[in-house]
Amino acid sequence: MSSGPGDTFALHVRDALGISTPTADSIPPLTPPVPRVHDVELPETFGPAWDRWWAQSLVTGGAEHVPGRWPAGLPEHLRDAYDQWRPDRTSPEATRHRDEAMMSFSESLNEVVDQLTEELGHTPLFEFDVIEIPVQGQFWRRLRKNHGARLGGAQGLQQRHRATGISDPRARAAAEPLPWSMNFRGDSTWVISSGDGGTFALFVRDALGISTPTADSVPRLTPPVPRMTDVEVPPGFAQAWDRWWLESDPSGPGREPFGLPDRLREAYLRWNDPWSPEARHARDEVSRTFSASLHELITELEQELGHRPIFTLEILQIPVEGQFWRRLGPAKVLISEELMRSRNVIAPLESVIRELAE
């Protein structure tokens, strides 16, 4: 499940100008209420143009910062009015609200998944997108088969599973990344996706004692992984592991090496069951602390640049020893969970985001 904000600017324009169409009227007003603007003239086609704008923003986002998508005749001063209306995301109240919303939604989602797992006899396999909008009331609408909308905060959790042909659903899940990853989004101008898609590959490295320059360049997992000395792998497995690791990304691992022992999947779950209360608590703690550092950094950059930074960044988070950081590409970094829980993450994160945003 991925969760992120819808394009609030389009809804702000609707409320400020009093746009009324079947599409516009089907969504509750924003909260806090938007002051009406009466001293503007709009073309007759503005209502239908707003409908198209809103529908496009649900798919692509970015309506606020791409004037070419704005309906013809949209008053430019509404952009400044939107900035004045929007609550200060850096305030203690806003930060507390985001954290509470994230924790509450996470708990409810975990409860639903647990119930479905017990009922179905296996972990549910699904993909689902949630668009969050700050409107009045407890609003929900299903937009299409795997797309919904709800009132919520600015953070989300993502769940993805893919069948691999293994009979035990819990062992099958071990063939994939841990089932949760995080999306941190910023009013359609920036998004950071964070996931642990490479953890299983690192577990295999530690369990089999694989040693190559690539494997040795990443710290060992924590807690330590027990060595498995009674398994055999084909020649060239270490080089195949290098390829597997380099192909991993936040949403999932790369192609598994040929000859990977099936026993390692079950051993992986014994080492760290992703569904345990301890694992869930650890994920929530990483999300909460990293989100606080991230929004502090974004606020400082926004004040310095004079505009909201526009960028996309992928984070491959790994539970390894120490505060580890490595830049894998222009918009992809490798970070240890220990560093993500520390304010020390701000300095390296700033260097990357500053480069991407300028």
DSSP code per residue over 125-168: ----EEEE--BSSS-EEEEETTEEEE---SEEEEE-----S-SS
Does residue 348 surpass a pLDDT of 50? yes
* pLDDT attached to residue 203: 93
Task: Tell me the per-residue pLDDT of 289-308, one tens digit each, with 9 for 90 and over.
Answer: 888 888 888 888 888 888 77
Average the pLDDT over each of 47-51, 67-71, 324-328 and give the range with the smallest value. Answer: 67-71
Percent of the chain at pLDDT > 70 equals: 75
User: Does an H or E element contain 10, and which?
Assistant: helix 8-17
How confident is the model at residue 344, as a pLDDT?
A: 92
* Residue ranges in 41-198 assigned as alpha helix (H): 46-60, 77-85, 92-120, 169-174
> At residue 287, what is the residue type?
S
Question: Domains of the chain: which residue ranges?
Answer: 8-85, 160-358
Min mean pLDDT across 103-112, 121-130, 156-165 is at 156-165
On the question of pLDDT at 155 being above 60, the answer is: no
Q: Is residue 146 pLDDT above 60, yes or no?
A: no
Average pLDDT, the chain: 77
Work out the pLDDT band at 273, boundaries 50, 70, 90: confident
Q: What is the pLDDT of residue 152?
A: 34
Burial class (CB in 10 A: 0-12, 13-18, 19+), 198: buried
Task: Measure the CA–CA gap between 39 and 19, rounded to whole angstroms.
Answer: 14
User: 232: phi > 0 → left, psi -120 to 50 → alpha, else beta; which?
Assistant: beta
Token pair of 61, please?
């986002």
> What pLDDT is recorded for position 184?
53
- Pairing state between β 332-336 and 140-144: unpaired
Residue 323 has pLDDT above 90, yes or no: yes
Laid out side by side, the sheet with 147-150 consists of 2-5, 129-132, 147-150, 140-144
**Chain centre to alpha carbon of residue 305:** 24
Q: Residue 119 burial (CB < 10 Å; 0-12/13-18/19+)?
A: exposed
With beta carbons less than 8 A apart as the criterion, state whether 314 and 250 touch.
yes
What number is the average pLDDT over the span 223-249?
89
Q: Is the pLDDT of residue 178 over 50?
A: no
Cβ–Cβ under 8 Å, residues 191 and 312: yes
> Does 230 score more than 60 pLDDT?
yes
The residue among 322, 316, 317 whose CA lies nearest residue 222 is 322
Report how far residue 102's alpha carbon sits from residue 105's, in angstroms, rounded to the nearest whole number: 5
What confidence score (pLDDT) does residue 17 get? 92
pLDDT at 352 over 70: yes
Confidence of residue 64 (pLDDT cuts 50, 70, 90): low
In 180-327, alpha helices (H) = 199-208, 213-216, 237-247, 263-271, 277-305
Q: In this structure, are residues 320 and 265 in contact, taking their beta carbons and an 8 Å threshold? A: no
pLDDT above 80 for 218 = yes
How far apart (Å, rounded) are the C-alpha atoms in residues 228 and 208?
6
- List C-alpha distances in Å: 80 to 13, 75, 84, 154: 11, 10, 6, 21
Identify the band that residue 180 occupies on the pLDDT scale cut at 50, 70 and 90.
very low
Q: Which one is predicted more confidently, 147 or 102?
A: 102
Q: Which residue has the higher pLDDT, 236 or 94?
A: 236
pLDDT band, residue 182 (cuts 50/70/90): low
The tokens 């526009």 sit on which residue?
Answer: 310
The average pLDDT across 209-229 equals 93
Higher pLDDT, 318 or 273: 318
210-221 in b/e burial notation, b at 16+ Cβ within 10 A? beeebbeebbeb
Q: Tell the residue number behind the tokens 């143009």, with chain if given.
A: 49
CB atoms within 10 A of CB 141: 12
Cα-flanking dihedrals φ and ψ of residue 75, to 5°?
-65, 125
Work out the average pLDDT over 246-262.
Answer: 78
